[in-house]
Homo-oligomer: A and B are copies of this chain.
Amino acid sequence: MNRPILPSRRGFLAGSVGLAGGLRLASAHATTPNLQTGFFGPHQSGIATPVLPHTYFAALDIVTDKSAQLAALMQSWTKAGAELTQGAELTLTFGFGQTLFVKDGVDRFGLAHQRPEAFVDLPKFVGDQLVPERTGGDLSVQACGQTPQATLDAVRTLLRLAEGVAQVRWVQAGFVTLPPGKETPRNLMGFKDGSFNVSIDDPAAMARNVWVGEEGPPWMRGGSYVVARPTRIALEHWDKMKLAFQEQTVGRQKESGAVIGEKDEFAPLNLDATDSDGNTLVAENAHVRLAAPQNNDGAEILRRSYSYDNGVSMVAERWPPWRHAMELDVGLLFMCYQRDPRSGFIKIFDKMSKFDMMNQFVTPIGGGMFACPAGVAEGRYLAQELFEAVGAS
């Protein structure tokens, strides 16, 4: 049995991994000149970098009790991450779950005092149907790239490097169809998704809403908190709704993406607009209203979601005629990045989970929150400050 070897040219010819083939194909795509997917820098890749059409997200459970092994894994992942992304249109984003710091009340690795104040547990939201096997995890790894194979191959390599230290807990692949130019992509509900979003091209907005600043521990400064929640969409119901009802639910027009009552997708959101009878144009429980910063003390999060397709699953109805059927198990891998989850996702979603008209069509089924450390400077490794702080490196 061979030890894993990183899929460098040399590793490939030496022979043991067998992933290099796929990876080299991925790198055959010319790198877009202004697409900085390089591994090193103040921030991890995959957050402020442009969205790529495919993703593969994996959450891992740690199976060692030795913090030195964890630190070694971070070193190994850093080396691999740099090699995998070199010349490839591929981003990698690593994160830490709450259970890395404290699990079942136990400070497994002496890291409890390093858990950031902002890194609270996600509450149980109304409507959550989280499947334990698809929820949580001590570590997260996300690859984004041009093909499913490139992202799968990258994570597969990282999982192999973790053998004996961590093992996969749940995964979710995702995709987004990127229209030409800068058009907003559509999700599986057929609506544009992401018309209003924090701009990755606006450093001030990113600093305000996405990047952890001086308030965080050193290893998180320049990092961000990601919420990643696979959320099933009941297309079998949604597809039968009339267009007008779908648009009321979202608060936007389906074809143009414009807010109801507006012509332009990017027209400012006027929540007070009324029709001639004085009724608000955007319903009180419309998705876009409840998500709006003006309804959430200015809270803004960087959304970066992907559609997912997990095949079919059995649905058995509990009322006559007790229909049993396979239905499409598809949805949205909802993802968002924020500087502080308490004033970000938790603030916004607490209200949405209670009132959003869209809730009758969507059900969060798993996922969690992960602290994505700052980017890595060349010569250093991922979250080195964290492990040095506890003498584990």
Seen from chain A, the residues whose Cβ lies within 8 Å of a Cβ on chain B are: 1-2, 4, 12-22, 25-26, 28, 53, 56, 133, 147-150, 152-153, 156, 159-160, 167-173, 175-177, 179-180, 185-186, 188-192, 235, 238-244, 246, 254-255, 307, 309-312, 325-328, 330
Contact A19:B190 (CB < 8 A) given known A170-B326, A177-B147, A177-B149: yes
Q: How far is it, in angstroms, between the C-alpha of A161 and the C-alpha of B382 when the chains are bound?
A: 51
Q: What's the minimum C-beta distance from A57 to chain B, rounded to whole angstroms?
A: 11
Contact A190:B22 (CB < 8 A) given known A16-B243, A149-B177: yes
Which chain B residues lie closer than 8 Å to A186 at the CB level? 21-22, 25
List 10 interface pairs A-B (beta carbons < 8 Å), by A numbering. A12-B254, A15-B244, A21-B190, A26-B177, A147-B177, A149-B307, A150-B177, A156-B328, A168-B312, A168-B325
Q: What's the minimum C-beta distance from A314 to chain B, rounded to whole angstroms?
A: 8
Which chain B residues lie closer than 8 Å to A20 at the CB level? 190
A255 near B13: Cβ-Cβ < 8 Å? yes
Residue on B nearest A325 in the bound complex, by CB: B167
Q: How far is it, in angstroms, between the C-alpha of A169 and the C-alpha of B53 when the chains are bound?
A: 28
A188 near B242: Cβ-Cβ < 8 Å? no
Contact A18:B330 (CB < 8 A) given known A179-B25, A311-B171: no
A239 near B312: Cβ-Cβ < 8 Å? no
Which chain B residues lie closer than 8 Å to A2 at the CB level? 240-242
A18 near B170: Cβ-Cβ < 8 Å? no
A152 near B309: Cβ-Cβ < 8 Å? yes
Which chain B residues lie closer than 8 Å to A185 at the CB level? 25
Q: What's the minimum C-beta distance from A294 to chain B, rounded to whole angstroms?
A: 27
Query: Assembly of this chain: how many copies?
Result: 2
Residue on B nearest A172 in the bound complex, by CB: B311
Which chain B residues lie closer than 8 Å to A150 at the CB level? 177
B255 near A12: Cβ-Cβ < 8 Å? yes
Which chain B residues lie closer than 8 Å to A148 at the CB level? 148, 175, 307, 309
Which chain B residues lie closer than 8 Å to A254 at the CB level? 12, 15, 18, 21
Q: How far is it, in angstroms, between the C-alpha of A255 and the C-alpha of B14 when the chains are bound?
A: 11
Q: A16-B242, A171-B328 known; 10 other A-B pairs, CB under 8 Å?
A: A1-B240, A15-B242, A16-B243, A18-B241, A21-B186, A147-B175, A149-B176, A152-B188, A168-B325, A168-B328
Residue on B nearest A174 in the bound complex, by CB: B148
Q: What's the minimum C-beta distance from A189 to chain B, rounded to whole angstroms?
A: 7
Which chain B residues lie closer than 8 Å to A171 at the CB level? 311-312, 328
Q: What's the minimum C-beta distance from A3 to chain B, rounded to whole angstroms?
A: 9
Q: What's the minimum C-beta distance from A331 to chain B, rounded to whole angstroms?
A: 12
Q: How far is it, in angstroms, between the C-alpha of A24 and the C-alpha of B238 when the chains are bound?
A: 19
Residue on B nearest A328 in the bound complex, by CB: B156
A239 near B18: Cβ-Cβ < 8 Å? yes
